[in-house]
Amino acid sequence: MSVARMLKVTVIAHGSISDELVDRLQHAGALEVAAYPAPEVMASDSPEHQGDDETLDSEVGLSVLKPMAIDEDRLHRLDEQIADAQFVRDFLGRFHVNEAPFATFVSEKFHFTREEYLGLDPDGNFIALYRECDRISDRLASLEREVARLSGLIHHLEPWSGLHLQISQWKGSEHVVLFTGTVPEASSQDIRQSLREAIDLVSVAEVGAAGSREAWVVMAHREALASVRSALSLTEFEEVGFPDLQDYPAEESACAAERIVELQQERIDLEERASGLAEKYAHTFALVEMLLSRRDAVEVRNEFMASERAFLISGWLPEYRRDELMKDLAPVTREVDIVFEDPAPGDEVPVELKNPAWMRPFESLTDLYGRPRYGDVDPTPFVAPFFFLFFGICIGDVGYGIVLMLACWLIKTRLDVAPGVKKFMDLFIYGGVASIIAGIPTRSYFALAEGSLPAFLRYTPVLDLPDDATTFLVFSVALGVVHVLLGVLINAYSYVKHGDPGRAAGEISVIVFIASIAVGVLAPDLMTVSISTGAGLLILTKGRIWGVRGPIGFLKSLGGGLLGLYDVVGIASDFISYSRLAALGMASLLVGSVMNDLAAMVGGGGGVAVLAGALIFIVGHTFNIVINLLSAFVHPARLQFVEFFGKFYEGGGRPYRPFTLRQQSVVLHSGTSEAEGGTAK
């Protein structure tokens, strides 16, 4: 139950096996590759030194190291293949239908055996698929543009549909010029009047209207053409023409509509073809991940150091995975030199948490705040029991706990959710168990009154809420006292671990002072002596007065000790924060009781009323569970992060991220690729 011990790993090998070694490291997924400069290579007689080094010293040539060059041509080819695969994936994704339950809320997973996944390649079949998708995509885009153009044409022809003059004739004659356009319908008469007053040799025919504009055919004598155009330019007249059309407007509009129907049918046929190709979506999705993994295998060489004939890899490995790494590298062990050593002071060591299986769901809470730095205390073992207890108090109902456990178990086992989601479901299953444990002593079963419970559940509760609300509140604050002081005690342990017993004594004195106050409250006759002793010890240890020389030093230490007394006030205020546990537990009970009362009021009439009452009961309690689930997670987490972690924990550790294959939404199996709820290849 701690931060896993990490080893600094250095791998030295001949350049001829670089591809094989990188592939094995990636498939092993155990080593986090570190950027150069690499750590100093240990002497060959080190007890942690493994490998056959008889010829390495004389042949690999590590005297001059520099960053390893990568194959840019290979990287460019991979980039092209990735772009093609991503295009196919995104295109087929438009037509792929996720048939898994609750597909809207759960991201789809694709299941492959490890051998199938590693064997994915942009072969001839993929190239043919790419070309077909590219052809369909281009044609669909072309159809979309053509339909949009034709639809626009129909819209623009609409006001001219009543004009019985072929568009090819919209040119006028030898002496008369004819042109068309639109004007705002509201100002049509004013424009017409101003035009007639200015020019005699002009005539306007109103053809029709579309929206707020009116279509005009303007006829003018050629001698007055310049004057007509000049007069119209001063108005809101917009000239309209259809140079590519010949027939009557109504006929052209009908032809465009017929063409749209043909294009839409072609689009339907193409989409059906694409839907048929979408059965290869899972394969293409995984191919993208595999190609990205291969790109990673090329780019990771940026972190290597190399000489003319050899290269060096440095990185980090959890000690418990050492045998696993050596097993994966067994085929090339005689061709590489592997060095394991402990981290040096100042190394930025990644952090891997190592806890029992039952405790791992609570690691989610630690990760939400931030992992501990390497060498610090892992707070997960302390978070687990208190979060479990706080969660149970906030919901505090046996019925709600059973529903929560069942719902989370179904999500975990019947839906193909990600490992992180399963981890959270395990956390909420624990929360359901805690709710049952907390609900039994308060006799809370869907917040039903005693008379509504079966006979075997009509026992006397330990806490009869809401009548015992004060006791419940005191119990919650008492839990807070234990929780916060545990944080102070852990902080004292951290000081001792880092060689500062003086500060550790100061933290212990805080606990002693608070205990002295409790003794004084319980035994008033001893209050003065108890509190004075506790305060004196606190001032002495917090100020670290021993060994101080001179009056100025004494005054500074005394001030530090007195400031320690003020810190206790802050700790005492933290105790009050835990009253929210009682408040949330009471809220869960009271809202549930209100839902029961409403259901009883509505359902007392028989027949349809009973169904309505049952509906209110189910919906109301479902709402209460959901709301309280949110509160039961957020508020206990806040108590952990603020009141508890604030006493000893800083976080800031960097998570351990090994160099491995990419598997976004891809699930690998050692045997069959089928999995319940998932999508096979």
CATH (domain of 324):
3.30.70.120
Tokens 């972190």 belong to residue: 303
Any domain includes 423: yes
pLDDT of residue 226: 85
| Contact between residue 356 and residue 1 where contact means Cβ atoms under 8 Å apart | yes
Q: What is the pLDDT of residues 36-82, one digit of tens each?
A: 654 444 434 444 555 544 444 444 555 578 888 888 999 999 999 99
Counting residues of the chain whose pLDDT is more than 70, the rounded percentage is 91
The Cα 557–Cα 553 span in angstroms is: 6
Q: Give the residue from 555, 577, 599 where a domain finishes.
A: 577
Any domain includes 74: no
CA angle, corner 429, sides to 426 and 432, nearest 5? 160
- Mean pLDDT, range 434-440, rounded to an integer: 97
Any domain includes 251: no
- Mean pLDDT, range 337-357, rounded to an integer: 93
List the beta bridge partners of residue 184: 213
Residues 585 and 643 in one domain: yes
Residues 410 and 324 in one domain: no
Residues 584 and 572 in one domain: no
Residues 594 and 462 in one domain: yes
Q: What is the pLDDT of residues 299-322, one digit of tens each?
A: 999 999 998 889 999 999 999 999
Is the confidence at residue 441, as pLDDT, over 60? yes
Domain enclosing residue 501, as ranges = 472-577
Q: Which CATH number does the domain housing residue 220 bear?
A: 3.30.70.2750
The Cα 428–Cα 364 span in angstroms is: 11
Task: Count other C-beta atoms under 10 Å from residue 475's C-beta.
Answer: 17
Any domain includes 557: yes
Q: Give the residue from 577, 606, 623 where a domain finishes.
A: 577
Q: What is the pLDDT of residues 535-584, one digit of tens each?
A: 888 777 776 655 555 565 555 666 666 677 777 888 889 999 999 999 99
Residues 573 and 585 in one domain: no
In the chain, count H helices and then E strands: 21, 16
pTM summary value? 0.81
Per the structure, the count of domains in the chain is 4
Residues 462 and 506 in one domain: no
Q: Running DSSP on this structure, what letter comes out for residue 639?
A: I
Is the confidence at residue 362, as pLDDT, over 70? yes
Residues 444 and 501 in one domain: no
CA angle, corner 634, sides to 631 and 637, nearest 5? 135
